[in-house]
Structure 1
Amino acid sequence: MVTKQIGKPQNRVDGRDKVTGRARYAAEFSATDLAYGVVVSSAIAKGKIKEMDTSEALRVEGVLDIFTSENRPKLASYDSSFQDEDAPPGSPFRPLFNRDILFNMQPIALVVAETYELARYAASLVKVEYETEEHVTNFEAERTNAYEPEEYKSTPPPDPWGKPETALKEAEHRISEVYSHPSQHHNPMEMHASTAIWEGDGRITVYDKIQGVLNSQEYIMGVFGLAKEDVRVLSPFVGGAFGSGLRPQYQLFMAVMATLELKRSVRVVLTRPQMFSFGHRPKTVQQLSLGASADGTLEAVVHHAFAETSRFEDYSEDVIIWPGVLYKCENVKLSHKLVGLDVYTPLDMRAPGGTTGIFALECAIDELSYKVGMDPVEFRLKNYSVKDQNVNKPFSSKELQECYRQGAELFGWKNRNPQPRSMREGHNLIGWGVANGAWEATQKPSGAKAVLTKEGKLTVSSATADIGTGTYTIMSQIAAECMGLPIENVEFKLGDSSLPQSPLEGGSWTASTVGSAVKLVCEKLGEKLLELAQESDDSPFKEVSIEEVEFTDGQMRLKEDTSVAIPLTQLLKENQKDSVQVEAESKPADEQENYSPYSHSVVFVEVNVDEDLGTIKVTRVVSAVAGGRILNPKTAWSQILGGVVWGIGMALEEYSVMDHQYGRFINHDLAEYHVPVNADVHDVEVIFVDEEDQIVNPLGVKGLGEIGIVSVAPAIANAVYHATGKRVRDLPITLDKVM
């Protein structure tokens, strides 16, 4: 008998391919005529190229061509801005557009050769003379010139409500502090790469590291003026992205340009240092002023954020929306300004804005709880919000209180001594901290196709991506359960621009969005199968409706009389069908407009701080998550665990170091850019709180990619304070700041 698939801890259906090496990534596809491109990066942050001498490089045997702004082909949209799907307001960076240098390590040439080694050697022979201009990469020095953009990429700050300044002034307890974090980089395992295959007659197939093949396809069509039928983009596997693959990066432009010009296949792979030359979590400074009454009622919130952006695009994130989402307060004022620097435009990085804004807010709330003299959990629950005050709408569901209850019980929060520096074990100071968080649960329009063969094999497809989150697996589970088939008989296809439309994989919306489309297309497939069964005059299904049948054990049968059944394989054979195929497009229900859908979390953390050395160890984490219906507890646990690990890195280690003399990130490798390793991660427990949501989407799922990280860094910071009595408000929390 076919068991239920949704909610089952299913192994990844693509797992064997990944561990055996059968899974191929963008730089692993080949062609008989493949050439290799290496990007030459600028050595200055601002100015112009006076002269570029490529003569010595061109003399190297095996070098096919060197593309610069002087000899690149004429392009369809390079005299106007072409916006990709994830572009912020402004004019996107255009590689090899002219001689102007806008940021350090800007791509200024592409050397193409018969082998990668030849291309890399020849690239080292390219000589460049610059005319430099004074650059500005110092955030603090430029902060006085911060501005409100004409258009926000994120949610614009809501209008103030109540009388925040007056309420703050009159509050019994007040805090006003500055919280900050540095620029941070994504650093996925797989470097960005594009392999463009020349198919002849102006047609190309491109394997790209991207979180949405349709975005790359549209970009190529727009920039190079190609017809849709002449461009196919594939990305069957992605070795991590975390937002770095939302926008087409410049290696895609380089590979396609060279392929079209040379009429042969070209691969371009960025180096690890070049991975630091585009997109990052922007450095952000936040001023938070909070006021509370004597009994702990939150009476005022004033939250001002300043974040970096490039000179050519206005990138912004949802940094300041979280007070209105997480807490009830009658007097709130929020603002978000940008600081333009001579850097590449920042880029969405796991839970963009959420990790930043919730870090500052939850540290400030914690500080205020101590000032009021209330337990940090009790203080948060006292100011619990039942609606999103930013838009004045109720939540579609919210089990945050249950997250607190279950998380505190498992962690043992009741045993906490509230006094800082009161808990120790030998020379280690022990601290317990807590923070809560939220992330928007979004559904977007999406399409899907389903094909059932007479052998009983079901193939469902959509152009979405799997960036390691388990998309292949959960979509297979949804389809298998809807059609009553064993998961071994189901194949889900993705990462191909020829498949039905879907949005970028990001924002934790893929399970909700593509999952809803898969559910809908399977329901339509069921309707078509019922129609086939009803074509026979003596069919027992002749007069029944789709609501009266179910699909299970590879059969279609009556719900009221399960003895009336027909195997799906038999149904197709009797109707002389090799296969049955349907397509469907799903979109959010109108009812969703009346609610504010969010997932919620509470994170409890224990840290050990060496009293002599100031070193910090995160010894225990309990993460309690209300994320709607859990499709696969195994992959869901993995998502939350990954968020916890990254939260440890954000709190204690990650820091992209800018050398202002050169305007360049200088720790641009995995030796100097620190991320957590096995020794940094200890006991992590994950709780999924039961949550039913009939509004958020037909599946009742909310997505888990972002909610796992947003609360971790502030919980660690609050635990460090409890251990040491010292507040560190500038991430990362390094031993020098503690000591």
Structure 2
Amino acid sequence: MARYLGKETPRVDGIAKVTGQAKYAAEFQLPNLAYGFLVLSTVAKGRITRVDTAEAEGSPGVVRVFTHLNAGRLGKAGASPDGWAWPLQTDRVFFSGQPVALVVAESYEQARHAARLVRLDYQAEPHQTDLAAVLDRARLDPKSGKPGPRGDAQGALRTAAVKVEAEYRIPIEHHNPMEPHAAIAHWEGEQLTLFDKTQEVYGVRQHLAEAFGVPANKVRVVSPFVGGAFGASLKPNYYPSLTAMAARALRRPVKVVYTRTQMFTGHGYRPETIQKVALAAGRDGRLQAMVHQAFHNTSSFDTFSDSTTQFTRQVYACPNLDAPLKVAATDLATPTWMRAPGAVSGMFALESAMDELAYALGMDPLALRLANYAETDPDSGKPFSSKALRECYRLGAEKFGWSRRTPEPRSMRDGRLLVGWGMASSVWGAMQMPASARVSYRSDGTARVGSATSDIGPGTYTVMTMIAAEFLGTRLEQVQFELGDTRQPKAPAQGGSWTTSSVGSAVRGAALAVTGRLLAMAQRQAGSPLAGATAAQVELMDGRLRLKADPSRSIAVGPLMQAAGLDQVTETFEAKPSAERQKYTSLAHGAQFVEVKVDPDLGTVKVTRVIEVSACGRILNPLASHSQEIGGVVWGIGMALEEATEVDHRYGRIVNANLQHYHVPVNADIHAIETIFVEEDDAIVNPLGVKGMGELGMVGIPAAIANAVYHATGRRVRELPITPEKLL
């Protein structure tokens, strides 16, 4: 029986966070620190024709003003002289809000003031920031297009008894984490130390090594706490190289922190999406064809794809399918991954279309999904390593009271309010990436565990401490887990919901390797109670190595190590996906049931009740897991009803780059949310049997809300967010 895994466990870093002991990137203290403030371009495309920094440089406290004319070189010599691979390397402007100068001063306030005194003239060129205007330029995304169509979708569409066709749109959306992006750079000779807000310290290290042409081992990146990211810090953003360039030139530490407005062009965003979906079915509801064509924008200087249609291929049993994604260049900054990238956008369109098909058939939306339930992966034909989606549907419908739903739109009321019930399915990959961890087990029974992963909020410190304590047989407080430093063993970025499966498997492996080392030491003793035992037959528990089948056969580890002259035993372990995984498809699934209440006079929508049921393998820490799923629902509510980055295409400029006008959910928007887990016993997916959940919890929510709004009002809103003017 598990000692910790599966038990509700409060955050081990909780006290540090609420008392301010947890240090974020901008909070590290270094002597003689200078402060940088960014100047951003005011045109969307063109060239800088004149730079006047005289007034700024004469301003009190200013140390230097860096522009493309005097900035240190970044990247390989001659690399893309007309491109934008690195900041302040060219006079070309590729998007409004591109960094064009960095003012460094003795204080933040002095740098900010002087930044307003930098004068730049531009030769503007015609720009295009509207995706709809450049669809003819869109190019097939090679990754999404690689599998190609399945069967003959167009032929099946022509002959089907029932079909629906619709277009769905999602605006650009921006991550708005509480912690703004920041870096502090410090050089000692050729050795660079950088404190950064990042989801992958090794990725930033490699980025900086390339920027300055130094060996990667000369760069240390430190990021112990991240105040929210969910994709905004997956790629190395432009500010770490800029901060390190300034610090090198000035021979003193430099700090750069984004303002909230600068974050809107400083770290990427969820791209704008236009999706055209056509579904065809027989009278029995069985799908005969699915065509899901998606378009989204990227920048003019970088290709980015969020694989919008990827999961469409694997959700429902359908013989004929075509799901191409095309990407079009616009004169905006490059998009990036944002919680449930691709999946939540693609499933909004697909699950809305499935609801439209249910109405066209006169069929219950849940019954339609069950009629097309995929028992095996429709794309590869492989069996699922586990799939409890059917149970998610059953449990969610039961808890929600779905059977009491009357199917006609506008048929349910609460006084004068229109009541709508909607549902959707969700899916996300159950991935594992190569990851390493180091475990040092000390003779006093305590342990130090490390891996260069991140904790952007899901509770990585806690779950890794739990895994280590479970397999080392210690108490939680005897384990010190450390992360976010390139001095620790390499780990993948914290993204894709793969951290626990990847890093957790490495921590487990390292702990078991320590057990194996101790067993070998024990078996060298004459008359050992563990003679003949294999590593799989023994376990560590409270400072003793014992036989699982007979705990009375044990040996105290402390004296054993002391006799060998050891204070600690250290093992580093790299966990990799097993070859067995290749024979299966591994996905996490879920079902969402949503109630909305709509004011028919004002067009306001309240999400009053959500039941979310997730099947994502084994749940290691239910307390944190429920919190993750609730967070996903809240983000889904924001996406469905509030979030939109508004671009004035005349100027190619974002006009609501602040939290006053970029709306996100607040407490008053959130009502009853219940999250339920259907645990799966999956020995294939990874040694811990876990699947990621951080993104899964969001995937079906916008579609479920849109479907509920249609049920309430009879109005189908196919463009997010669903705002009052779209319902009036």
Calculate the TM-score normalised by the size of structure 1: 0.97
Within 2, Cα distance between the matches of 1:78 and 1:508? Answer: 37
- Measured after TM superposition, the shift of residue 144 of structure 1 is 2.6
- Measured after TM superposition, the shift of residue 3 of structure 1 is 6.5
> Does 1:342 find its partner at 2:334?
no
For the Cα contact (< 8 Å) 2:75–2:86, is it kept in 1?
A: no
User: Identical aligned pairs, as a percentage?
Assistant: 48
- Measured after TM superposition, the shift of residue 573 of structure 1 is 2.4
Q: After the TM superposition, which of the residue ranges 527-536 and 208-217 deviates more from structure 2? A: 527-536
1:34 aligned partner: 33
Q: Across the two proteins, how many residue pairs are aligned to each other?
A: 727
- Measured after TM superposition, the shift of residue 92 of structure 1 is 6.1
Flag structure 2 segments of 5+ consecutive residues without an equivalent: none
> Does 1:249 find its partner at 2:264?
no
Superposed counterparts of 1:529-540, under 5 Å: 529-540=518-529
> Does 1:173 find its partner at 2:162?
yes
Amino acid at match of 1:426: G
In structure 2, the residue corresponding to 1:388 is in which secondary structure? coil
Cα 1:81–1:507 change in 2 (3 A) is: farther
2:6 aligned partner: 7
Superposed counterparts of 1:341-490, under 5 Å: 341-490=330-479
For the Cα contact (< 8 Å) 1:429–1:724, is it kept in 2?
A: yes
1:50 aligned partner: 49
Cα 1:91–1:690 change in 2 (3 A) is: farther
For the Cα contact (< 8 Å) 1:63–1:114, is it kept in 2?
A: yes
Deviations 1:295-350 (A, max 9, x none): 11111111111111111112112211233211001111121111210001110000
Within 2, Cα distance between the matches of 1:398 and 1:80? Answer: 48
Match of 1:674 among 663, 667, 674: 663
Within 2, Cα distance between the matches of 1:322 and 1:448? Answer: 31
Within 2, Cα distance between the matches of 1:472 and 1:241? Answer: 16
For the Cα contact (< 8 Å) 2:438–2:573, is it kept in 1?
A: yes
- Measured after TM superposition, the shift of residue 618 of structure 1 is 0.2
Deviations 1:363-412 (A, max 9, x none): 00011011111110011000001222233322211000000011111111
Cα RMSD over matched residues? 1.5
Superposed counterparts of 1:125-140, under 5 Å: 125-140=117-132
For the Cα contact (< 8 Å) 2:273–2:296, is it kept in 1?
A: yes
Deviations 1:64-111 (A, max 9, x none): 1111111112334253379xxxxxxx9763201110000001001111
Amino acid at match of 2:44: A
Deviations 1:661-693 (A, max 9, x none): 110111000110000000000000011002111
For the Cα contact (< 8 Å) 1:78–1:97, is it kept in 2?
A: no
Cα 1:248–1:81 change in 2 (3 A) is: farther
Q: After the TM superposition, which of the residue ranges 523-532 and 135-144 deviates more from structure 2? A: 135-144
> Does 1:107 find its partner at 2:99?
yes
Match of 1:117 among 99, 104, 109: 109
- 4+ aligned runs moved over 6 Å, structure 1: none
Within 2, Cα distance between the matches of 1:182 and 1:74? Answer: 36
For the Cα contact (< 8 Å) 1:197–1:204, is it kept in 2?
A: yes
1:68 aligned partner: 67
Calculate the TM-score normalised by the size of structure 2: 0.98
For the Cα contact (< 8 Å) 2:529–2:555, is it kept in 1?
A: no
Match of 2:85 among 82, 93, 97: 93
Within 2, Cα distance between the matches of 1:520 and 1:324? Answer: 34
Match of 1:686 among 670, 675, 700: 675
For the Cα contact (< 8 Å) 1:483–1:551, is it kept in 2?
A: yes
Superposed counterparts of 1:608-687, under 5 Å: 608-687=597-676
- Measured after TM superposition, the shift of residue 732 of structure 1 is 0.3
For the Cα contact (< 8 Å) 2:68–2:90, is it kept in 1?
A: yes
Superposed counterparts of 1:682-721, under 5 Å: 682-721=671-710
For the Cα contact (< 8 Å) 2:709–2:715, is it kept in 1?
A: yes
Cα 1:116–1:730 change in 2 (3 A) is: same
In structure 1, the residue corresponding to 2:471 is in which secondary structure? helix
- Measured after TM superposition, the shift of residue 63 of structure 1 is 1.1
1:224 aligned partner: 212
1:85 aligned partner: none
> Does 1:239 find its partner at 2:238?
no
Deviations 1:616-641 (A, max 9, x none): 00000000000000010011011100
Flag structure 1 segments of 5+ consecutive residues without an equivalent: 83-89
Within 1, Cα distance between the matches of 2:39 and 2:50? Answer: 14
1:553 aligned partner: 542
Deviations 1:107-141 (A, max 9, x none): 01111111111111111110001111011011212
- Measured after TM superposition, the shift of residue 32 of structure 1 is 0.9
1:594 aligned partner: 583
- Measured after TM superposition, the shift of residue 203 of structure 1 is 1.7
> Does 1:313 find its partner at 2:302?
yes
Within 2, Cα distance between the matches of 1:185 and 1:390? Answer: 32
For the Cα contact (< 8 Å) 1:427–1:612, is it kept in 2?
A: no
> Does 1:201 find its partner at 2:193?
no
For the Cα contact (< 8 Å) 2:208–2:241, is it kept in 1?
A: yes
Within 2, Cα distance between the matches of 1:228 and 1:714? Answer: 44
For the Cα contact (< 8 Å) 1:63–1:111, is it kept in 2?
A: yes
For the Cα contact (< 8 Å) 1:157–1:334, is it kept in 2?
A: no
Amino acid at match of 2:56: A
Cα 1:92–1:489 change in 2 (3 A) is: farther
Superposed counterparts of 1:557-568, under 5 Å: 557-568=546-557
Cα 1:196–1:560 change in 2 (3 A) is: same
For the Cα contact (< 8 Å) 1:157–1:320, is it kept in 2?
A: no
In structure 2, the residue corresponding to 1:366 is in which secondary structure? helix
Amino acid at match of 1:42: S
1:331 aligned partner: 320
